């Protein structure tokens, strides 16, 4: 058992109002159809995120680049946003030692610090720029479309710094982008910057196992082969239409039934592991941007994902999960073995408030608290499930990532939406282009100007 999904507490047999056995068995044909359609999408090259696990050529792009710059840089900075950043942040938090960027080089095995600038707040960017030595910094500009305003703005600012310092930029930049489309390709050529590929059939939020996540991970010394092997193992495990044997299909079906048949419109993702806290943010983007859609028949669908962290959020959001509206499922992620553990010492046998803790350990406390919270939620008819992984390492994380990506793709089929597009973010982008004067945004300018203006009656 390397990864197991226990969904007992999602079912009516354990939780009042949970999924009934007839709903579950009744979903089998929908799941078979979803599986078949997803296979077609993969076979016809529309969805490429599964194939990437066996793409040695693509992996070599990252490994060769990382080898060629070994020892040259103290800092690596990813410039990217959304799917171009969240996966790397999740990998960094899960697989690099705690406080990586603050560790001395020897404790980092001589590997560089790894920063991810996933926003355009000038305060953050200026602070980081002030701290870096330009000749010893590598900037990885990541954009699938090669034209995202935030990422291109960051690039322009950093590039100008190099120009002002008289440093030719080619050696301090790498681009990760679509093999053909977008502004980064021609820029790479004119600047002599190396450009790595994001396969055309993989979109941002499904791209963590391409050079988007693999290049920064390889530079920081993460075992990227193990990451991909774990993902490949999970992809093989999920290559069946049988719900009982396919954890990704099971996860998608549980959430889809809970949402559409039981009003569970919110999907809380709650790992009991600091190492996995940023995986929750990555999952939130994946689930939200893939499934929150208008269907062809005009209906609006999609479960709202919410990130939480155990045990911390037991003292915060869990109150809402227990007694607030009955509109949530909770996905716990349990870790069986921790890399280290700390035991609680005794010494206060007469103080009942602490004496019972003596002899127990923090890993045990995490595990007990997860089970206690899951049980308490079930007791209050709040459905929840637990994904248990053996340990947080590259192999298991790869498996977990693939499980969640596949589940999202299946859920797209079950909801009847395209999980791989994001038309809903377009209008806001167009309005921003309109205000910034981007050529070609004349229609957006008109639409923007026709919007109601701020109204003094409604301001305070």
Residue identified by tokens 């941007």 is 289
Of 123, 193, 137, the closest CA to residue 165 belongs to 137
CA distance 342 to 360: 9
Shortest approach of ligand PA5 to residue 420 CB, angstroms? 8
For residue 284, the minimal CB distance to ligand PA5 (Å) is: 11
Token duo for residue 141:
């500009």
* Residue 287 CB, nearest approach to ligand PA5 (Å): 12
Which C-beta is closer to ligand PA5: that of 88 or that of 151?
Answer: 151
Of 56, 48, 224, 220, nearest to 140 by C-alpha is 220
Residue among 349 and 440 whose Cβ is closer to ligand PA5: 440
Which spans in 392-441 are helix H? 394-415, 426-436
On whether the CB atoms of residues 261 and 415 are closer than 8 A, the answer is no
Integer angstrom CA distances of residue 39 from 99, 243, 395, 404, 406: 41, 15, 24, 16, 11
Least Cβ distance, residue 142 to ligand PA5 (angstroms): 6
Rounded least distance, CB 87 to ligand PA5, Å: 9
Residues paired with 333 in a beta bridge: 271, 387
Please say which residue, 389 or 444, places its beta carbon nearer to ligand PA5: 444
User: How buried is 30 (Cβ within 10 angstroms: 0-12 exposed, 13-18 middle, 19+ buried)?
Assistant: middle
> Residue numbers of the site for ligand PA5 (CB under 6 A)?
81-84, 143-145, 148, 151, 203-205, 289, 422
Confirm if 263 and 327 have CB atoms less than 8 A apart: yes
Could you tell me which residues are beta bridge partners of residue 78?
116, 140
Backbone φ and ψ for 360, nearest 5 degrees, come out as -85, 170
Q: How far is the CB of 374 from ligand PA5 (least distance, A)?
A: 31
Nearer to ligand PA5, 70 or 426 (CB): 426
429 catalytic residue (yes or no) = yes
Q: From the CB of 83, what's the least distance to ligand PA5, in Å?
A: 3
Residue 309 and residue 314: Cα distance in Å, rounded? 8
* Selected catalytic residue, list 57, 315, 442, 449: 315
Look up residue 3 and give its DSSP letter: E
CB of 151 to ligand PA5, least distance (A): 5
35 an active-site residue?
A: no
315 given a catalytic annotation: yes
User: Which of 202, 306 has the CB closer to ligand PA5?
Assistant: 202
The burial of 161, by beta-carbon neighbours within 10 Å (0-12 exposed, 13-18 middle, 19 or more buried), is given as middle
Please check whether residue 204 is in contact with residue 84, taking contact to mean a CB–CB distance below 8 angstroms. Answer: yes
Which of the residues 289, 328, 396, 405 is marked catalytic? 289
Of 93 and 210, which CB lies nearer to ligand PA5 in the complex structure?
A: 210
Residues 243 and 238: their CA atoms lie apart, in Å, by 9
Query: Token digits for 442?
Result: 């004349």
The residue among 285 and 384 lying less far from ligand PA5, judged by its C-beta, is 285
Q: DSSP E strands: which ranges in 100-169?
A: 113-117, 137-143
Nearer to ligand PA5 by Cβ, of 204 and 383: the residue is: 204
Tell me how far apart the alpha carbons of residues 119 and 328 are, in angstroms, rounded to a whole number: 30
Residue whose CB is nearest to ligand PA5 in the complex, by number = 204
From 336, 388, 429, 447, the catalytic residue: 429
The answer to whether the peptide bond before residue 311 is cis (omega within 30 degrees of 0) is yes
Residue positions annotated with a catalytic role:
289, 315, 429
């Amino acid at each position: 058992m390397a990864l197991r999904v226990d969904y007992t507490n999602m079912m009516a047999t354990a939780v009042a109002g949970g999924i009934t056995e007839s709903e579950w068995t009744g979903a089998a044909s929908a799941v078979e159809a979803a599986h078949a359609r997803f296979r077609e999408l993969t076979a016809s090259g529309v969805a490429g995120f599964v194939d990437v696990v066996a793409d040695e050529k693509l992996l070599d792009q990252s490994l060769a680049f990382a080898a060629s710059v070994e020892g040259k840089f103290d800092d690596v900075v990813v410039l990217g946003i959304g799917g171009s950043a969240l996966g790397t942040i999740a990998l960094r938090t899960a697989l690099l030692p705690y406080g990586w960027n603050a560790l001395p080089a020897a404790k980092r095995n001589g590997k560089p610090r790894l920063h991810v600038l996933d926003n355009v707040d000038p305060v953050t960017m200026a602070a980081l720029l002030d701290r870096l030595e330009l000749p010893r910094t590598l900037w990885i500009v990541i954009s699938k479309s090669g034209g995202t305003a935030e990422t291109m703005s960051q690039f322009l600012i950093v590039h100008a710094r190099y120009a002002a310092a008289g440093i030719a930029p080619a050696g301090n930049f790498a681009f990760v982008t679509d093999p053909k489309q977008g502004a980064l390709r021609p820029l790479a050529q004119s600047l002599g910057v190396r450009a790595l590929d994001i396969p055309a059939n993989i979109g941002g939020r499904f791209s963590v196992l391409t050079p988007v996540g693999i290049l920064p991970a390889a530079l920081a010394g993460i075992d990227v082969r193990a990451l991909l092997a774990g993902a490949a193992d999970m992809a093989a495990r999920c290559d069946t239409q049988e719900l009982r044997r396919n954890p990704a299909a099971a996860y998608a079906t549980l959430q889809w039934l809970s949402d559409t048949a039981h009003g569970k419109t919110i999907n809380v993702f709650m790992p009991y592991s600091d190492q996995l806290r940023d995986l929750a943010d990555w999952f939130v983007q994946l689930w939200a941007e893939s499934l929150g859609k208008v269907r062809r028949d005009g209906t609006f669908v999609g479960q709202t994902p919410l990130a939480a962290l155990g045990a911390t959020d037991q003292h915060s959001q869990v109150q809402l999960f227990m007694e607030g509206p009955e509109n949530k499922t909770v996905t716990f992620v349990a870790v069986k073995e921790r890399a280290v553990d700390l035991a609680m010492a005794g010494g206060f046998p007469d103080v009942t408030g602490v004496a019972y803790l003596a002899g127990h350990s923090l890993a045990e406390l995490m595990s007990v608290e997860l089970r206690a919270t899951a049980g308490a939620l079930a007791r209050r008819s709040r459905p929840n499930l637990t994904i248990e992984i053996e340990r947080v390492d590259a192999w298991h994380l790869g498996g977990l990532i693939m499980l969640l990506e596949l589940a999202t793709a299946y859920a797209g089929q079950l909801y009847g939406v395209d999980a791989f597009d994001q038309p809903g973010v377009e209008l806001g982008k167009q309005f921003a282009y309109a205000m910034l004067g981007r050529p070609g945004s004349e229609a957006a300018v008109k639409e923007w100007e026709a919007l109601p203006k701020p109204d003094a009656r409604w301001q305070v």
